Amino acid sequence: MKINADRFRVARGTKVDLTKWPTLAAPVYESDDHYAQLLKEYVGTINAQQQLLNASESFAVLVIFQAMDAGGKDGAVEHVMTGINPQGCRVTSFKAPSEQELKHDFLWRAVRELPERGRIGIFNRSYYEDVLVVRVHPEKLRGAGLSKPQLDGNRVWHERYRSIVELERHLHANSTRIVKIFLHISKEEQRQRLLQRIDRPEKNWKIRPEDIEERRFWADYMKVYGKCLAATSTRRAPWFVVPADDKRNARLIISKILLDAFIALDLKFPEAPPARRKELAAMRAQLAKEGRGKQPRA
């Protein structure tokens, strides 16, 4: 089954009510073996594209993952990016901001981690947390040292949306391509995954009491996510809402979204200029000369 990634794109100006967006899609794989085959093909092609990205050094690629707790961000990074050369890729996970980070604007800590041209940067959570978690829990704004007028009403959120859109426009203009993926799971699926983290000792480290407490705010999170996706999905940096109740299906869809983004760059290995070709020819001649003086192998 061919995956049409555009099905999951949030068109610019769309009003987003996540209660009406599916968390489960028709499977694009037919069996365990078929899933493994498809993922291997996607991962291999993405790896080849990453080599072109690294060689050409003409673009940077920033991949942003957002989701509710247990949404599958870590698994997506692990499985979809498994074939990528780690020397050309860096994963940054954003937790609660430190005291030093709170003394800067909310974009500061993320801007420091942006990938340079030729590399892939993966943000596991991102600057979007500052219009999501903080909007559900506005009391956290008081710890950010904002002046009182900035804390009034909805002004702060609209200003932050605008800052995000302007940052992403600037990055695009300077050859950073941004892929934004929201892994959309249901509240029931999250409950099952959290239970699994409790019941399986090797997963105990992944759950905290706060994860259970935050479920009380599920409806609030769906509202602020919807507002965020609608306000910040643009033609150059669109959001993709990926149904994530089926982890395998989600990974295949993510793979196709990433592959489409790479193919759109039309990457090629750089052509050597005349001086470089002359240098390569001289090096080849030297190595060939060395080879002529050796005894043939038995």
CB-neighbour burial class of residue 42 (10 A; exposed 0-12, middle 13-18, buried 19+) = buried
Q: Is the pLDDT of residue 149 over 90?
A: no
Cα Rg for the chain, rounded, in angstroms? 23
In this structure, is residue 296 part of a structural domain? no
Name the band, by pLDDT with cuts 50, 70 and 90, for residue 143.
low
Cβ(73)–Cβ(254) below 8 Å: no
In this structure, is residue 281 part of a structural domain? no
Q: Is the pLDDT of residue 290 over 70?
A: yes
Buried b (16+ CB within 10 A) or exposed e, 88-109: bbebbebeebeeebbeeebbeb
AA letter at 24 = L
Q: Is the pLDDT of residue 166 over 70?
A: yes
What's 271's DSSP letter?
P
Name the band, by pLDDT with cuts 50, 70 and 90, for residue 129.
very high
Q: Is the pLDDT of residue 151 over 60?
A: no
Of 78, 84, 6, nearest to 46 by C-alpha is: 84
User: What percentage of residues in the chain have a pLDDT greater than 90?
Assistant: 85
**Beta-ladder partners of 60:** 176
Q: What is the CATH number of the domain that holds 215?
A: 3.40.50.300
In this structure, is residue 291 part of a structural domain? no
Counted domains in the chain: 1
Cβ(60)–Cβ(174) below 8 Å: no
d(CA 212, CA 197): 12
DSSP string of 169-214? HHHHHTTEEEEEEEEE--HHHHHHHHHHHHHSGGGGGG--HHHHHG
Name the band, by pLDDT with cuts 50, 70 and 90, for residue 170.
very high
Cβ(131)–Cβ(164) below 8 Å: yes
pLDDT for 266 equals 95
pLDDT for 293 equals 67
Q: Is the pLDDT of residue 148 over 80?
A: no
Question: How much is the average pLDDT of 119-131?
Answer: 97
Name the band, by pLDDT with cuts 50, 70 and 90, for residue 139.
confident
Supply the pTM of this predicted model.
0.92
Q: Is the pLDDT of residue 82 over 90?
A: no
In tens, the pLDDT along 188-205 reads 999 999 999 999 999 999
Name the band, by pLDDT with cuts 50, 70 and 90, for residue 279.
very high
In this structure, is residue 169 part of a structural domain? yes
d(CA 281, CA 285): 6
Q: Is the pLDDT of residue 147 over 60?
A: no
Q: Among 94-103, 162-171, 249-258, whose mean pLDDT is lowest?
A: 94-103
Instruction: Please give the residue range of the domain that contains residue 40.
Output: 5-273
Of 183, 179, 193, 245, nearest to 27 by C-alpha is: 245
pLDDT averaged over every residue in the chain: 93
Q: Is the pLDDT of residue 174 over 80?
A: yes
Q: Is the pLDDT of residue 240 over 90?
A: yes
DSSP string of 65-76? EEESTTSSHHHH
Q: Is the pLDDT of residue 20 over 80?
A: yes
Question: How much is the average pLDDT of 232-249?
Answer: 98
In this structure, is residue 232 part of a structural domain? yes
pLDDT for 294 equals 67
AA letter at 45 = T
